[in-house]
Structure 1
């Protein structure tokens, strides 16, 4: 029994307006005409991108230098080289191989009980549902099972994974993953390669003789990091369906490995002087930390994702490599995929994922002075977000002879609407930001465009205030609310002006 990932159609792709599934050989033979891989959700998409990057790096064992990298773009034999490599390791890309099933441990202890695959892969009724498989369909088709294997080895949630196994979250379940993309899958793969000097000990999982184990282990290098197996898994397959799996904890990389090896995530240094992926927890509300709000969007993270402003931030290193090799497009389209769990003891609870695109001008990535304009635009956006926070009531004028500006009922009505209005403002900012960043790259018009941005957000904020006022019961409360928000908007603009002077 065999299921060869080289020939069986299991990777979803888009060719223009046509969608289909391909095996690895057909994918690489036609990657110059494939628009992109198109997984069903961001965690699968992240896993597929990194898997294909690992294959190309493994096939060429490089590029070791910028000159090698530039030569790849003109290499007419690259497709043949990748396909020859896959054929050389054909047995290791068989999902059902008796000794080396793809990304599975054939020697997993018999004492580990089988778990229905739906229970192991999808969320149950006691956790927030992001993806869900109904109980009446207790199996996965082999293409889906293969994609889930890729995801589970790096983007799996923590918690109880079977009748007796508890595991921590995967190494890529927090933060955003940044992938420069192009019009073809071939160019996208090349854009995401980095300078890599091969060593004898650094091999992808399918080249290793004993790739599975338990305990903490340092990756041997970048290929090992990309294909590192954090779970020991063995599928049970009946016909063309995977019905159960046996699952146990696998290797665990030390915490600092991400910063050492990863090229596609932004990192931020913590108070204990360790580097961690830029957090992506948009559903966690922390009033003491305005950067952790429930409407957190790409524009608010772009300061660290695209440009290093302070020594405490490290943008994805893929940008530095592309900048040095002059393979950045102008503007460069970037796909930013996010996946996050609740963290701590709640690591089994997925809270959010995102799939965003930005067209980033070369100037923004290369010139610190040009980035200052974008940084100011982000600050202005954050300041306007404060208008729809609870502290806005401090700006409410108190009418003569009245102890309070609003009755308790009126205040409750306003408070109930603030989160929705703030979400609407952040959504509007998210829609406008991609064009804004292109405009601000033109230094000659940047200052005027920034002033226009402030005026734009002021007008939109007033539109939102008008919607809120309609819910208030009388002219008195409407007039006080309008005055309160106008004062808040004025204070926001004044605060930005003081920062500019300073």
Structure 2
């Protein structure tokens, strides 16, 4: 059976208000006409954009690690000015790797290892491939598929679950695999597990891809710059993982899982799957160009983790400002590069985030996606960017004081001390009010934030968030009894919110920024 990803219709795209599916060859031929790619689930979309970015870099020559920063920037500008991908170059690239994009090829299935049929004593099953399905003793998440009732999935869907496993797969126990005399039944986590990645988003797919190509010269580590479908031989699982080098190595060469899909009889679906470890040896470290990195207490940097409860605007300053916040967050490398597109694309570029809230091993909580307004040009105005960062920090500090106040007032009204002195009971939890307060606070704080960013109005932002916190405090505590004892506790604990004004953030210093801006 064959399922050629170059010609089969599997990538969901949008052209204006029209939605359809196309193959990779048509995608690159008409990228300048496509409004967007609408792939799901978000982790699979995140992986797809990395794959497409490698192909786009090959076609345009922006994968050349020998180019200086100036020469690379000039080439990127020339590609953007052309307005579309060169179809001849695309045809040459796909011809060089003919047969390597077949999902069910016998010898070299795309991004898979055909040796798993012989090296694994049993398959892992389709339910294991689809992360939101129940597998083994796991609880049901989005559907009611069980090990007793396994439903195949269409081939076009399976591609995105394949990508999700390779980029976000779990660590720990997996289907055993025997290579020579070595047998193992555990794997390391995928390179993007628990992370949130940020991708430039232009007016069409062509702009999004070209703006999203990171500068190749930053990734010349001395290794081989090849994506898995570009290699002549399958990797040696007992050897040393290749050193990530170039765009192919960094974006598509760091997988820790080996996967194999088995087609249905008609070749239109995936009926079974193997998922196991890819390497026994430790991999070389590498920084992904679409991730935010923040500093730990020892001074090292690690990728910022995804949090389904944290809205995208709370990371916006890390997209426009280097060394943002108290944790000294570093911007994604790809967004540092787009600053040079001032007259071409920067004013219209947005950022799309793909996040997967997971733990380090097997627990998958929630995936998210969000898009920022077209405000990346603020990166070229350092003082304004710093004011944005200070305003975000002020909003977060105010919310913390709101939660403390709601926690303390809940304890006070449920304790004989009534908040006067030390609590007499030790078994009172913080109660439901802090969570209710946060749920009410953050959506309204986001509206305040974006409005002030668009208007470049950073003076007295602390007062705006303070007034919001007081409103939320009143709304949440309004359900309490009108008895004098409880009203007294509510009024006493309200004062904790005002402690958030102790910082000059987004008031004095930020108001001077407005005058200069």
Q: Same fold (TM over 0.5)?
A: yes
Residue pairs, 1:348-359, within 5 angstroms: 348-359=362-373
1:188-215 CA distance string (max 9 Å, x none)? 1111012225899312211101243325
The offset of 1:91, in angstroms, is 0.7
2: CA distance, partners of 1:154 / 1:142 = 19
Aligned residue for 2:116, secondary structure, equals: coil
Instruction: Indicate conservation of the 8 Å contact 1:174/1:280, yes or no.
Output: yes
Instruction: Indicate conservation of the 8 Å contact 1:393/1:484, yes or no.
Output: no
Residue pairs, 1:344-493, within 5 angstroms: 347-390=361-404, 403-405=417-419, 415-440=431-456, 445-447=457-459, 451=460, 453-493=461-501
2: CA distance, partners of 1:439 / 1:129 = 46
Aligned residue number for residue 338 of structure 1: 355
Aligned residue number for residue 257 of structure 1: 285
1:324 aligns with 2:340: yes
1:120-139 CA distance string (max 9 Å, x none)? 33342755766556234521
1: CA distance, partners of 2:355 / 2:43 = 8
Instruction: Indicate conservation of the 8 Å contact 2:410/2:433, yes or no.
Output: no
The offset of 1:457, in angstroms, is 2.5
1:71 aligns with 2:71: no
Residue pairs, 1:46-85, within 5 angstroms: 46-62=46-62, 64=67, 65-75=72-82, 78-85=86-93
The offset of 1:180, in angstroms, is 0.9
Q: Over aligned residue pairs, what C-alpha RMSD do you find?
A: 3.3
Residue pairs, 1:9-408, within 5 angstroms: 9-62=9-62, 64=67, 65-75=72-82, 78-108=86-116, 110-112=118-120, 113-122=122-131, 123-124=133-134, 127=138, 132=143, 134-135=145-146, 136-162=149-175, 165-196=185-216, 201-214=224-237, 216-217=240-241, 218-228=243-253, 229-238=255-264, 239=266, 240-251=268-279, 257-259=285-287, 262-281=288-307, 295-309=309-323, 312-326=328-342, 327-330=344-347, 332-343=349-360, 347-390=361-404, 403-405=417-419
Instruction: Indicate conservation of the 8 Å contact 1:413/1:471, yes or no.
Output: no
The offset of 1:325, in angstroms, is 4.6
2: CA distance, partners of 1:252 / 1:312 = 34
96 and 405 in structure 1: CA distance in 2 versus 1, 3 angstrom threshold: closer
2: CA distance, partners of 1:313 / 1:405 = 39
Gaps of 5+ in 2: 178-184, 511-517
111 and 334 in structure 1: CA distance in 2 versus 1, 3 angstrom threshold: closer
Aligned residue for 1:330, secondary structure, equals: helix
1: CA distance, partners of 2:328 / 2:503 = 25
| Residue correspondences, number | 474
Instruction: Indicate conservation of the 8 Å contact 1:306/1:316, yes or no.
Output: no
Aligned residue for 1:3, secondary structure, equals: coil
39 and 160 in structure 1: CA distance in 2 versus 1, 3 angstrom threshold: farther
236 and 403 in structure 1: CA distance in 2 versus 1, 3 angstrom threshold: closer
1: CA distance, partners of 2:24 / 2:58 = 14
Aligned residue for 1:74, secondary structure, equals: helix
Scaled by the length of structure 1, the TM-score of the pair is 0.84
- Which segment is superposed worse, 52-61 or 249-258? 249-258
The offset of 1:348, in angstroms, is 0.6
Aligned residue for 1:154, secondary structure, equals: helix
2: CA distance, partners of 1:397 / 1:153 = 46
Instruction: Indicate conservation of the 8 Å contact 1:120/1:162, yes or no.
Output: no
The offset of 1:461, in angstroms, is 2.2
2: CA distance, partners of 1:464 / 1:131 = 33
1:220-273 CA distance string (max 9 Å, x none)? 3321222224222221111222111123211479676332xx211111233444
The offset of 1:296, in angstroms, is 2.7
